[in-house]
A and B are shown apart, each in its own frame.
Chain A
Amino acid sequence: EDQVTQSPEALRLQEGESSSLNCSYTVSGLRGLFWYRQDPGKGPEFLFTLYSAGEEKEKERLKATLTKKESFLHITAPKPEDSATYLCAVRNRDDKIIFGKGTRLHILP
């Protein structure tokens, strides 16, 4: 069964304190791994797509990386506005898109 597991469930950081969020997955025929950001009361917002092991994508203070079993979302020198829930999802060979439960990130000023 295809599965996505994110850790930690919640993370509190001081402003400027870098860290990483983890997304481990098992999927039949990976056709893409996706990161989203979700603010309270809003729909998720797409951030990155990764297709193959070794691939990296960057956007402002965020960098996503991919291995054959997991992905990391690295947050460098975060600011309070980076506080959100970060969701990881995978697309399988049948084009089903399966989400993890997310990591709630809180950046303290």
Chain B
Amino acid sequence: EAQVTQNPRYLITVTGKKLTVTCSQNMNHEYMSWYRQDPGLGLRQIYYSMNVEVTDKGDVPEGYKVSRKEKRNFPLILESPSPNQTSLYFCASSGLAGGPNTGELFFGEGSRLTVL
């Protein structure tokens, strides 16, 4: 089954404790992206990647890091989480980066993060 898998789905942590949210897709997609979704603000792009070793900042990259060492994986790293990073996070992927279908995103189920 084609899917985007995120882990963990739920996490409560404390300020400053490094954490990683993993994202893996099994569709051989080139394009991958991370979004956060907050009430009243909608989905905002954090980082995106057009292919292995190619990443770019989205609209809200501050406080986040990403890496794309393998095509299927695109982890989101919070080096020193703060309460304003409490949010619902979505990973998404799309087929050929730069191709006509970029934007037809497959989303994961989401990871709800709370930073105390």
Contacts and interface: CB of A to CB of B under 8 A. Distances in A.
Binding partners A and B:
yes
Contact of B41 (A46, A51, A97, A101): A101
A49 B103 contact: yes
A18 B90 CA distance: 31
Nearest to B104: A46
Interface string B50-62: 1000001011000
Given A99-B42, A101-B40, A43 B103 contact: no
Contacts, number: 67
B9 to A, nearest CB: 10
B48 A96 contact: yes
Q: Interface size class for chain B?
A: 20 to 34
Nearest to A49: B104
A51 B50 CA distance: 20
B103 A34 contact: yes
A97 to B, nearest CB: 5
A46 B4 CA distance: 14
A95 B97 contact: yes
Nearest to B41: A101
Contact of B107 (A31, A44, A98, A102): A44
B109 A42 contact: yes
A43 B45 contact: no
Contacts of B102: 31-32, 91, 95, 97
B63 interface: no
B42 A97 contact: no
Interface string A35-71: 0100001111110010100000000000000000000
Interface string A1-27: 000000000000000000000000000
A87 interface: yes
B90 to A, nearest CB: 5
A43 B5 CA distance: 11
7 contacts: A32-B100, A43-B110, A95-B97, A97-B48, A98-B59, A99-B42, A102-B42
